[in-house]
Amino acid sequence: MKEEIVKVLQKITGEKNIQIESPENEGFGDYSSNVALTTFENLKFKIKNLKLKTPREYAEWTVKQLEDDDRLNNIIEKMEVAGPGFINFWLSKETLADNLSEILSKKEDYGRSDPLKGKSYLIEHTSPNTIKTLHVGHIRNNTLGMGVHNLLEALGADVKLDAINNDRGIHVMKAVWAYLKFGEGKTPKSEKLKQDLFVDKFYVMGAKMADDDEKTKDEMQELLRRWEAGDKEIRTVWKKLRDWTLTGFKETYKRLGSRHDHKWFESEFYEHGKEMVEQGLRKGIFKKLPDGAVLSNLSKYNLPDTIVLRADGTSMYHTQDLYLTKLKREKFPSDLYMWDIGPEQELYLKQLFAMCEQLGIGKKEDYFHMAYGFVYLKGGGKMSSRAGNVVSADTLLDEMVGKARKIIEKSETGRNFMDDEKEKVAEAVGVGAIKYGFLKVGRSTDIYFDIKESLSLEGNSGPYLQYTVARTNSVLAKSKRVKEQESKSFNSATMKQLNNEELQVLRALPRFADVIVDAAKSYSPNLLCNYLFGLAQKYNNFYNTHRIIDSDNKEFRLRLTTATGQVLKNGLKLLGIEAPERM
């Protein structure tokens, strides 16, 4: 419906870039456009011929043209000009009724469309070090990557997911050194620890000792030299620790409902990065300094230069990422390559994208840094894996699920759950609370995660939305148990008699498809979160104000309840959140 309005406005104004929004104040209609304000200056020659002197007059003229268009007459009930030249649109009752029927017909497919059909994306997300456990920052990274993946896929795009596992370097040798010194005979099973948590313990130990002792640091450098030389003993220990970590990661990814289509390992290609440096030197893109180090030349991109190869011939992260980007393009030809990485990497990635363009590895516009803000736990400071005060992803997941379990056990419904159902619901609520708590915030905003707030059944939280879905399920289940009585049929007469609370829910439903488009194209799942919260509020207001099953308008209200539950479930699924049947 939004697209139909845009097309007609484009035809009338001749303007291609037209913005249509849903006003926060519902008194201003279902949609609003400022096209008369934004195009007035550009179209002065046309305005002059029409003798229109202000944007408002131009808006009024535009509305008259719109009223003569048959395409809009079928979906719009009313159009008005407001303020200096805004055009507000109200969908007709027939259009709203048709949309309600569409939801009931399409069910889980409602909201999906194909404006991005034929487009392909590669999203790198959750790329960890293989000697550390996943922490809460990784959860934000993970939920953002998966959420954007789901949104793009809902619009018909082909989306692949990859990750780079940093499994080599001095940081890895810190864990290897500590395990060789203090881990003989110990395994995750013997220590009763999850595999990645077990390895992380040795990393923290090694990192602290390296900070305190120069000799220890030298021993770790020697281990790295031996590893790079293919030393069998060091490689065996390294692989054992890596495999344990990857097994632990797999469990956490499964719990988060996350996946990767491909995983890269730095150890498998790091030596080839130097090939890119040699290529850059031959092309005159890079320059060798007097001490033998190789420097970039990014002046035309207004970026500071960076060393791409050290004086001793060892590679830098850029060295490897240039080659990795080449591998990505060969394995996953895509229209856009996305890096779901924190904001501290902004300059690094700008330099990488510019050097890729210089080396002929695509244009810099082919690459996008999908940055996100830092994560703090409310009341806590910034975390550091080196200091060992990181809150692991598993710790947060366990705590949230545990608190959700206690809430369920105290609830009237929860007391009737069998143990396995109680565990299943607690897991869905706890994990959903974390995901929604991260996704409801704009990508670039830092998060101060509040456990209590995230589990609330009354505020803007995942459990609130899940509870609303469960409420719609309860109403529908109860309606089947109640003896059927005569009620008015759902027809045009019913639509004319709708009250304000019913209309608020009904008018919110068509926006779902529009929000998916906006959220996907801006890589902003928070837009979908905002919409779902608003819809849930409207439905709960309706539910608390009016009777449903034994009302004169029972048939319509049951359809409205079914449609609301379906849209909320569809939206939560796009966010990677499960909606339990009951709570």
Q: Which of 286, 582, 259, 240 lies closest to 416 in space, CA to CA?
A: 582
Q: What is the pLDDT of residue 179?
A: 98
Q: What is the pLDDT of residue 387?
A: 46
| pLDDT per residue as tens digits for the range 298-325 | 999 999 999 999 998 888 899 999 999 9
Give the residue, 43 or 98, on which the prediction is more confident: 98
**Helix and strand counts by DSSP (H, E) for the chain:** 24, 14
Q: Is 564 helix (H, G, I), strand (E, B) or coil?
A: helix
**CA atoms of 348 and 12, how far apart (whole Å):** 46
Q: Give the pLDDT band of residue 487 (cuts 50, 70, 90).
A: very low
Q: Give the pLDDT band of residue 482 (cuts 50, 70, 90).
A: low
| pLDDT per residue as tens digits for the range 424-472 | 999 999 999 999 999 999 999 999 999 889 999 888 999 999 999 999 9
Please give the full DSSP string across 391-410, using - where no structure is assigned.
PBHHHHHHHHHHHHHHHHHH
Q: What is the pLDDT of residue 495?
A: 73
Residue 15 has pLDDT above 50, yes or no: yes
Write out the E strands in 298-381. 307-309, 336-339, 367-369, 375-377
Residues 6+ apart with CB under 8 A from 199: 130, 131, 132, 133, 175, 179, 241, 244, 245, 248
The percentage of residues in the chain with a pLDDT greater than 70, rounded to a whole number, is 94
Q: Which of 92, 21, 41, 53 lies closest to 61 in space, CA to CA?
A: 53
Q: Give the pLDDT band of residue 72 (cuts 50, 70, 90).
A: confident
C-beta separation of 62 from 13 below 8 A: yes
Q: What is the pLDDT of residue 384?
A: 46
Task: Give the orientation angle of helix 500-508 with respect to helix 93-106, to 10 degrees.
Answer: 60
Residue 254's Cβ-count burial label (10 Å; 0-12, 13-18, 19+) is exposed
Q: What is the pLDDT of residue 377?
A: 82
pTM of the shown model: 0.93
**Average pLDDT score over residue span 140-159:** 98
Q: Is 115 helix (H, G, I), strand (E, B) or coil?
A: coil
Q: Which of 326, 255, 260 lies closest to 126 in space, CA to CA?
A: 260
**Average pLDDT score over residue span 254-260:** 97
The pLDDT mean for the chain works out to 92
**CA atoms of 116 and 370, how far apart (whole Å):** 19
Tokens in use for 381?
């400071």
Tokens in use for 130?
């293989």
Range with the poorest average pLDDT among 29-33, 74-78, 115-119, 578-582: 74-78
Q: What is the pLDDT of residue 391?
A: 86
| pLDDT per residue as tens digits for the range 173-195 | 999 999 999 999 999 999 999 99
